[in-house]
Every structure is written in C-alpha cells, then in structure tokens.
Amino acid sequence: MKKWIFLGVFYIITIVVGFQNKALILAWIQESTLSQLPIMFFTSVLLSVFPIVPFTLFAGVMGVKYGAVLGMAINWFGGVSAAALFFLLARYGFQENFRKKIEHYKGLEKFTRMIEQNAFVAVLLVRLISLVPPPVVNIYSGLSRMPFKVYILATGIGKIPSMFFYAFSGSQLFESIGMFIFGLSVYVLFVIFIILMYKKWFKDKEKIITE
C-alpha cells in the first residue's frame, strides 16, 4: 500500500514539475538526434537496475522522443540487460543474499511448479503479464538450474509487448488521444488473452501431473 501511495505522490510531483518546465522538456524531446542514443541506452539500463525514476515514465518519454519503434528498442535493451545482470549476480555472486530477499514471496511455490513443467514457457508468461514481480523472476531464475540461454530468450521475447506499449503510449499521448486509447485497449485485450492461455496451460499441466 505504501509503495502505491509513494508512486502516486511521485507521479503527481513529476506532472507538476513537468508543467512548470514544459518549454525546456519539449525542447529536449524535440531534439531527438541520434547522437543522444548511447546516453539513452545507458540510462535505460541504469533505471532498470536502479529505479530512481519509475521505468514506465522513462519508457513513455522515449516513445515521445524517438517514436514507438526506436523508443521500444531503448526500453527493451534496458529491461533485458538488467534482467540478465540480476540473473548472473544471483547465480554466481550473491546467492544467499538474494535467496533471503525472495524466500517470503507467496507466489514462489507456484512459479517453481511452472518452471519445473516448462522453464521457457514459465518465464515467457510471467514476462508477458507480470504474474510474478520482475526482481523475483530474475533472482529465482538465477538460483534455479535454468539455462541462461532459455531464460534470456524467454525474457527477450516476453518483454517486447510491454516495452512497445510504453513507447507507443508515449508517442501517441500528445499526438492522438484516440490512438492512445486504441493502443491501450489492444494491450489490455492482449493481456487478458495471455492470462486465459496461462490458466489453461497451467491447469492442463497440473492435470497431467495428478493423473
């Protein structure tokens, strides 16, 4: 609850500050030169690892500044790079520390069963619909016996829809409210479809195990 209150206050402050500095922000957004791209890719990774600013806010700004496709690429690179880093740290560096951080997560048992049934599908599904918090996915996958190539492939594919949606929403928010609402509707329907597919897949797998 405290987290959501904090995020709400943060967004309100961001909006207020944004309106007070509207001219400067718009000038920076319009200056979408390719020379800034290395900084944006680095910032994407940095904010994915250390979310000083909510990543969704940064991801939307990238859509405004560079458009849906290039903005999505920046967002995707940051998200996947951070996921790979935490996986490797959990597997080779800080096993006990990370284990203590996630051992009290209530949904861990179900995620464990999903990984045992099909690691690729398990990671892909939780990336597509955020069934499990990303830090838990990153750390637990690193602590498990899951091959890195399976994890990174599922993560890379699973992050594409959400990262594209953030960038597309940002690119359309100031251009066409109609397209923004359309994009939001498509994404919501997509998430609902994936949830239904997930429930069917998990139910079928559980049925096979019990028989």
pLDDT tens digit string along 47-78?
A: 888 777 778 878 888 888 888 889 899 999 99
Residue type, 61: V
b vs e for 144-171, b when ≥16 Cβ sit within 10 Å of the residue's Cβ? bebeeebbbebbbebbbbbbbbbbbbbb
DSSP H/E element including 142: helix 134-143
Classify each residue of 65-103 as buried b or exposed e, where b means 16 or more C-beta atoms within 10 Å of its C-beta.
bbebebbbbbbbbbbbbbbbebbebbbeeeeeebeeebe
Between these two residues, 204 and 38, which has the higher pLDDT value? 38
- Amino acid 11: pLDDT: 56
pTM of the model: 0.74
Q: Residue 42: its pLDDT value, please?
A: 86
For 68, residues 6+ apart whose C-beta sits below 8 A from its C-beta are 164, 167, 168, 171, 172
Mean pLDDT, the chain, integer: 78
CA distance 40 to 80: 15
Give residue-wise pLDDT tens across range 89-138. 888 877 777 777 777 777 677 777 777 778 888 888 888 887 777 888 88
> Percent of the chain scored above 90 by pLDDT?
13
The pLDDT-based confidence of 30 (bands split at 50, 70, 90) is low
The rounded distance, in Å, linking the Cα atoms of 63 and 56 is: 11
DSSP of 37-92: HHHHHHHHHHHHHS-SS-HHHHHHHHHHHH-HHHHHHHHHHHHHHHHHHHHHHHHH
The rounded distance, in Å, linking the Cα atoms of 141 and 135 is 10
Asked which of 29-33, 37-41, 128-132, 143-147 is least confident by mean pLDDT, the reply is: 29-33
Q: What is the pLDDT of residue 151?
A: 93
